[in-house]
């Protein structure tokens, strides 16, 4: 199966699967989706691509802070990572990087 993410105003709003037979290339998959009458901008995404982060802990006397540092994109089967990570609903598509990105979550106020 090949997965495609629908992009609305830079945000992923839907992810669908298309058979390999109907999507041997991204362009063929986009044409197949359009032939079904499903409008919109569709970008292929890889279920096997993910972003890896390293956690950093700062043990301050008054509070403990954790943060994470992006170390790269990886393919779970050892292949070439594709578009940064698998697209999820609510992720954004960065056209300049040609990658899907999960928006940062702000910490709750203390």
Nearest Cα to Cα of residue 97 among 68, 79, 70, 78: 70
Dihedral of CA atoms 53, 54, 59, 65 in degrees, nearest 10, equals 0
Give the pLDDT confidence score for residue 64 in this predicted structure.
66
pLDDT tens digits along 41-85: 999 999 998 888 887 777 666 666 777 787 888 899 998 899 999
Residue 2's pLDDT band, with cuts at 50, 70 and 90, is very high
**What CA–CA distances, in Å, run from 92 to 46, 57, 63, 81, 109?**
15, 27, 32, 17, 24
Global confidence as pTM: 0.80
Query: Do residues 15 and 4 touch, judged by C-beta distance below 8 A?
Result: yes
Domain ranges of the chain: 2-101
Give the pLDDT confidence score for residue 9 in this predicted structure.
96
């Amino acid at each position: 199966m090949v997965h495609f993410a629908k992009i609305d105003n830079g945000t992923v709003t839907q992810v669908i699967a298309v058979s390999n037979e109907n999507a041997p290339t991204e362009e063929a998959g986009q044409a197949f989706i359009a032939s079904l009458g499903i409008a919109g901008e569709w970008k292929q995404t890889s279920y096997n691509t993910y972003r890896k982060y390293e956690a950093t802990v700062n043990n301050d006397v008054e509070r403990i802070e954790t943060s994470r540092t992006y170390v790269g994109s990886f393919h779970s089967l050892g292949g070439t990572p594709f578009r940064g990570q698998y697209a999820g609903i609510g992720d954004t598509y960065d056209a300049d990087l040609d990658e899907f990105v999960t928006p940062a979550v702000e910490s709750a106020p203390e």
